[in-house]
Amino acid sequence: MDRPHIVCVNPPIHDFTAHDFWLKPYGLLRVAGRLRPCARLSFFDYLDRHDPRAPPGRWQREDPWGRGQFYTAELPRPAPLAHIRRRFRRFGLPRECFREFLTANGPFDFALVQTVMTYWYPGVREALEDLRALAPSAKIVLGGMYATLCADHAAALGADLVVQGSDLEPLWRFLGVSPAPGGTAWWEAYPSGPAVGVLKLSDGCPFRCTYCSVPNVYPPFAPRPADDVWAESELLLARGARQIAFYDDALLYRSAEILEPFLRRVLERGVEADFHTPNALNARFVTPELARLMVAAGLRTFYLGLESASPEWQQSTGGKVANEEFARAVECLRDAGAGEIAAYVLLGHPRGSPGEVEAALRFARGLRVRTMLAEFSPIPGTPDGEACRKWVDLDEPLTHNKTAFPLVCWGEAEVERLKELCRKLNRDRDA
């Protein structure tokens, strides 16, 4: 076969909520980056808010850091979620845009479809239906989180190959290609240049939190080659990105070896960009020196993983951080002049309680940081996810939905009370 024509697809989202919180199909773009020399590549990202095919509207507005809303359309709630009293929506470009794209740009030999949340599979199914109808010769490959955690369920959608985890050798054999090693993600996929980019300095995580799927999806923690990281940074900047979010699961781990050299290079080169940390930072590793370096190099938002202020809960779920470590990290960041500091607090964890969530919210408020409720999703294969089988049918991925599970576990009244308390404490802080 000559160089195969491969279409890379980031599907729409079917969910109660979704927001462009620096959301990019980074795994797909990294795979495509390795395919540059040996394939013809096309790209369709349903979640690109700057795509000119997007209908005009308020979803094209964004905050100073490049975050915003997606184009949405209301959908009927699927049967497993029919009891949840929330509006269910489709997030992303209209379906007709993808159909027109397939007709205009085909034929394709292969379609690589990224998957993320397990309970977003209806959007994946929608994309596959249109690929089968309008690109019937294309062999379809699914990869990513849903494909790994729910491989049998994903295979039942009708893909020709489901790639589990980070071992890509089955993919290369299936495509019949010899890809380039390492390299940069395929940011050229966005013709007008990405206003927002994402970056990883490392892969994997050294911690084993009982509620987290990272150990089941990614390889053991390892830094990426520094030259690849810097080349990718330069590519992003050259294409116009000025907001860059770190996607690392353990950004501060071994920082003297990984993060700090990168930040010093940013300062030496006079890079003009704002950096962000949407994945929870481990407060244990924040020191006064690291805080000063991060702020000086342009980190603008700091999202710290608190999860709970209960020492018993912290220890039983992996011992990632303690309250005194969290408080010390906040002090270091504030002394360094950090701007936006926020604490993630986990809502609806089956071994937590509403009282513990309230205590965590008030603990964070006492440190004068904003709080963000991170709703718990029961992920199959994790200890805490498996413990939820007494509440939901984990074999149906829709029951993993983060909006739905806390309502099932704690009830609507308690969940709404805690959300309102979170809003009130944040308003009081900002007053």
Q: What architecture is the 5-175 domain classified under in CATH?
A: 3-Layer(aba) Sandwich (3.40)
Q: Is the pTM of this model over 0.85?
A: yes
Domain edges within the chain: 5-175, 193-430
Between these two residues, 431 and 94, which has the higher pLDDT value? 94
Residues 297-323: pLDDT tens digits?
999 999 999 999 999 999 999 999 999
Task: Identify the pLDDT of residue 59.
Answer: 72
Task: Identify the pLDDT of residue 126.
Answer: 98
Tell me 88's DSSP state: E
d(CA 96, CA 256): 49
Task: Identify the pLDDT of residue 84.
Answer: 96
For the chain, percent of residues with pLDDT exceeding 70 = 100
**Alpha helices by DSSP H, 106-186:** 121-134, 145-149, 151-155, 169-175
Residue 60 pLDDT more than 80?
A: no
Task: Say how far residue 415 (Cα) sits from the centre of its chain.
Answer: 23
Element (H, E) at 1: none
Residue 192 pLDDT more than 80?
A: no
* Residue 45, C-beta contacts closer than 8 angstroms, at least 6 positions apart: 9, 10, 25, 51, 189, 190
Task: Identify the pLDDT of residue 359.
Answer: 98
Task: Identify the pLDDT of residue 333.
Answer: 98
Looking at residue 38, its amino acid is C
Task: Identify the pLDDT of residue 1.
Answer: 54
d(CA 150, CA 217): 11
Task: Identify the pLDDT of residue 290.
Answer: 98
User: What are the start-end ranges of the E strands in 195-324?
Assistant: 196-199, 202-203, 222-223, 243-246, 274-276, 301-307
User: Would you tell me which CATH number, out of the four given (3.10.310.30, 3.40.50.12780, 3.20.20.70, 1.10.1740.10), belongs to the domain 193-430?
Assistant: 3.20.20.70
For 46-68, what is the mean pLDDT? 88
For 396-423, what is the mean pLDDT? 97
Instruction: Measure the N-to-C terminal CA separation of the chain; round to a whole number of Å.
Output: 64
Sign of the torsion formed by the C-alpha atoms of 351, 353, 359 and 362: positive
